Amino acid sequence: MTATRCGSLDRVSLLPALTGTFGDAPDAVRLGDHATDFAGLAETAAALSRRIGGAKTAAVVATSTLETVTAVLAGLHAHVPVVPIPPDAGPGERDHILRDSGADVLLNATTAPAGVEAVPPGQTDRAPWTEPQTARTALILYTSGTTGRPKGVPITGDAIAACLDGLADAWDWTSDDRLVHALPLYHVHGLVLGVLGALRTGSRLHHTGKPSPDLLAAAQGSLYFAVPTVWHRVAAAPEAARALGTARLLVSGSAALPAGVFTAIEKLSGQAPVERYGMTETLITVATRADGQRQPGAVGIPIKGVETRVDGNGALEVRGNTVFAGYLGRPDATAAAFTGDGWFRTGDIATIDDDGVHRIVGRASTDLIKTGGYRVGAGEIEDALLSHPAVHEAAVVGRPDDDLGQRIVAYVVADTVATETLVQHVATALSAHKRPREVVFVEALPRNAMGKIQKHRL
């Protein structure tokens, strides 16, 4: 096959693989044991879109299945913003997202709260596919709740196209590639890059279901996406790591890749991984190029259409085609997120060398924890802990962890209560991956004169 690349920032066709631009194959899109061709996926999604036409917003229970991909595409086809919800979200987290987004349809579900229509999976009808309008809001993704409840981030098709075209240029990503990953389908990494990226570039997609090193190796991809936790496990499985030596590019993202894992993957597979950087609000803005220098801790240079700078305190700011316009229904938060001249404040501390190579060296606050590839907000977990009747005070921090990158540690002032009770309380209220891995009971939390908790003293 001759490699084909989608034209840069093609506003006419957001997902050209669904219109036959790149040809087709019976297993063009595979998730676990289930596969379909591009044409079948497009026609099934178009049929499902008839069920949700006229809806304000369509939420999707984002399991790692073909049904989720179909549901997301149905929303895009119907010009209805799609809100992915983690399948393990607790009732509080799910209900907040449904209310805040104004969702009136919940796809991939058999039950839903009052006022929301549940549409179960299992769509089998077919209908003609037409491309969505890229200027519209395509997705509403939710932040990690760093300082309270998660905020909605509307993302347009134009921003998605800009991000994916920038990465296709940086990574020489084409229709000749076979993309393999096992990422969750409710955030930028797994959904935008890992699904819509394949449908924009025409690369074949194989989602292995579970992030098992053996399954990833057996998929025989040319392009791999994974989070540092998965790369750590691949490095600990030498046979699987060596099998990835036939791949063209190994990409790590969602958190910093430890230098030891970088070195181990390079030694076993014969090639160094590349890293990239982004946020929900900006999509991916910085990436190590396939033909660039690969260094541990370096996340690369800005993709096409993106500019970066650091302020006087070393905090990274970005602007460009991938950056969102503002939080859903949160004008105050939006105003605080941008500088007076229109740059988005990432909150991350970065360095930029003379060649433009970026390194993310820290967080402007201690309230964002990167664990197992997830960005988890300390504030959301603290709110969940405080909802337990035995807990009086709570502070959550991230601590270094060889496997997870950071593990979630909760310091609590509480009446007599078992550690496991609090862990399960959080896992039930929120998503399971947001539960504390350690609970430390203290008599009081350290505070300054203004009453603010001093987390650096914990």
DSSP codes of every residue in 65-100 = SHHHHHHHHHHHHTT--EEEE-TT--HHHHHHHHHH
Between strands 374-377 and 368-371, the pairing is antiparallel
In the chain, residues under CATH classification 3.40.50.12780 are 16-209
Res 383: pLDDT: 81
What is the number of H-type helices and E-type strands within the chain? Answer: 12, 24
Res 135: pLDDT: 87
What average pLDDT does this structure show over 403-427?
95
Res 260: pLDDT: 84
Task: Give pairs for 443-452: CB < 8 Å, separation 24+.
Answer: 443/413, 444/393, 444/413, 445/393, 445/395, 445/411, 445/413
Second-level CATH architecture of 16-209: 3-Layer(aba) Sandwich (3.40)
In the chain, residues under CATH classification 3.30.300.30 are 368-457
In the chain, residues under CATH classification 2.30.38.10 are 274-363
pLDDT of residue 8 exceeding 90, the answer is no
Q: Which pLDDT band holds residue 256 (cuts at 50, 70, 90)?
A: confident
User: Which structure tokens are listed for 106?
Assistant: 């919940």
In a 13 Å sphere around the CA of 266, the CA atoms on its Cβ side amount to 13
Phi, psi of 441 (to 5 degrees): -90, 130
Contact 34, 72 (CB under 8 A): no
pTM over 0.75: yes
Res 450: pLDDT: 44
Contact 245, 272 (CB under 8 A): no
**The tokens 């077919």 sit on which residue?**
126
Task: Return d(Cα 66, Cα 423) in angstroms, integer.
Answer: 32
368-457: in CATH 3.40.50.300: no
Indicate the residue type of 50.
R
Rounded to 5°, the CA angle 300-164-257 comes to: 35
pLDDT of residue 194 exceeding 90, the answer is yes
pLDDT digit string (tens) for 118-163? 999 987 899 999 988 888 999 999 987 655 688 999 999 999 999 9
State the chain's mean pLDDT as an integer.
92
Res 393: pLDDT: 87
Res 422: pLDDT: 97
**The tokens 């690969």 sit on which residue?**
294
User: Which structure tokens are listed for 297?
Assistant: 């801790």
pLDDT digit string (tens) for 264-274? 999 999 999 99
Which CATH number does 274-363 carry? Answer: 2.30.38.10
Q: Which pLDDT band holds residue 11 (cuts at 50, 70, 90)?
A: very low
